[in-house]
């Protein structure tokens, strides 16, 4: 899978792929990333990409021409480009979306800045729009990274062990439906500062372990997501 990031600030994103699991996924060819800067496509002599809002209002808005030309160039290179805009005013991004989008070959994530992006760009090019939460950020780079990370880990081979995807919050690989939140997890030492791992996890009875984890999942879900 290839991720193309459209951003004015590629340095905010590039570092995230230089370590850990995603770096390994790139080195092993499971995913790849590239970057396009709308300033490189601006026809303004000063490489301007933003202007004041029609009808008035605070701040500047990214205007159509640089983004139209940027996305046209990407679509010329990747005929199957699937274009996503992170927006505060969009449907929530969830685990089912991450699983579904992991089957795409080329995903384009367009990061807005300032007061956002001229709506005509979104209406013309967006295959989907997503919000990662009910709050406002200074730009679309963080949401783009969040979505790329969530999607990447569902690309075959990225995590190495497919079992790492099972029993997670929000998804069930068999049904692809929402399920209970993931149960709490524990490791050694068994007793740390008089805080002990639940004894049922130590006895090797897998039926009882599953029962305990299910009970903990139900309690956690009821508390956090009633």
Mean pLDDT score, 116-121: 93
Give 115's pLDDT tier (boundaries 50, 70, 90).
confident
Q: Distances in Å between the alpha carbon of 181 and those of 146, 147, 168, 218?
A: 19, 19, 7, 7
pLDDT at 127: 98
Q: Are residues 62 and 134 in the same domain?
A: yes
| Number of separate domains in the chain | 2
pLDDT at 225: 84
Q: What φ, ψ does residue 187 adopt, rounded to 5°?
A: -140, -170
Q: Are residues 147 and 91 in the same domain?
A: yes
What are the b/e assignments for 86-105, b being 16+ CB within 10 Å?
Answer: bbeebeebebebbbebbebe
pLDDT at 53: 85
85 near 110, Cβ under 8 Å?
Answer: yes
pLDDT at 64: 94
Q: Are residues 121 and 199 in the same domain?
A: no
Candidate from 103-112, 168-177, 188-197 with smallest mean pLDDT: 168-177
Mean pLDDT score, 159-185: 64
How far apart (Å, rounded) are the C-alpha atoms in residues 18 and 163?
A: 25
Q: What is the mean pLDDT of the chain?
A: 91
Crossing angle for the helix pair 141-152 and 20-27, to the nearest 10 degrees:
70
Per residue in 51-60, pLDDT (tens digit) is 888 888 888 9
Give 174's pLDDT tier (boundaries 50, 70, 90).
very low
Give 173's pLDDT tier (boundaries 50, 70, 90).
very low
Per residue in 146-170, pLDDT (tens digit) is 999 999 999 999 997 655 555 555 5
Domain of 45: which CATH number?
Answer: 3.40.1280.10
Mean pLDDT score, 41-56: 91
Domain of 207: which CATH number?
Answer: 1.10.1270.20
Q: Are residues 25 and 126 in the same domain?
A: yes
Mean pLDDT score, 69-94: 96
Mean pLDDT score, 28-43: 97
Q: Are residues 111 and 189 in the same domain?
A: no
Domain membership flag for residue 27: yes
Decide which of 112, 133, 162 is a domain's last residue.
Answer: 162
Q: What is the pTM of this model?
A: 0.84
Domain membership flag for residue 173: no
pLDDT at 170: 57
How far apart (Å, rounded) are the C-alpha atoms in residues 23 and 52?
A: 39
Domain interval for residue 99: 2-162
pLDDT at 166: 55
pLDDT of 32 above 60: yes
């Amino acid at each position: 899978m290839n991720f193309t990031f459209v951003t004015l600030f590629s340095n905010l994103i590039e570092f995230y792929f230089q370590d850990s699991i995603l770096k390994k996924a790139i080195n092993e060819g499971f995913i790849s990333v590239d970057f396009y800067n709308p300033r490189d496509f601006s026809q303004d002599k000063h490489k301007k990409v933003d202007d004041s809002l029609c009808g008035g209002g605070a701040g500047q808005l990214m205007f159509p021409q640089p983004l139209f030309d940027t996305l046209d160039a990407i679509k010329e290179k990747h005929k199957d480009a699937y274009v996503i805009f992170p927006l505060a005013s969009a449907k929530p991004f969830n685990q089912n979306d991450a699983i579904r989008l992991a089957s795409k070959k080329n995903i384009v994530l367009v990061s807005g800045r300032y007061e956002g992006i001229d709506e005509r760009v979104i209406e013309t090019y967006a295959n989907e729009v997503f919000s990662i939460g009910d709050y406002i950020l200074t730009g679309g780079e963080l949401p783009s990274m969040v979505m790329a990370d969530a999607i990447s880990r569902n690309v075959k081979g990225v995590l190495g062990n497919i079992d790492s995807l099972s029993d997670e919050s929000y998804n069930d690989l068999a049904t692809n439906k929402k399920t209970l939140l993931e149960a709490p997890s524990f490791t050694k030492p068994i007793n740390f500062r008089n805080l002990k791992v639940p004894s049922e996890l130590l006895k090797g009875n897998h039926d009882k372990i599953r029962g305990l984890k299910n009970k903990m999942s139900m309690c956690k879900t009821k508390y956090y997501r009633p």
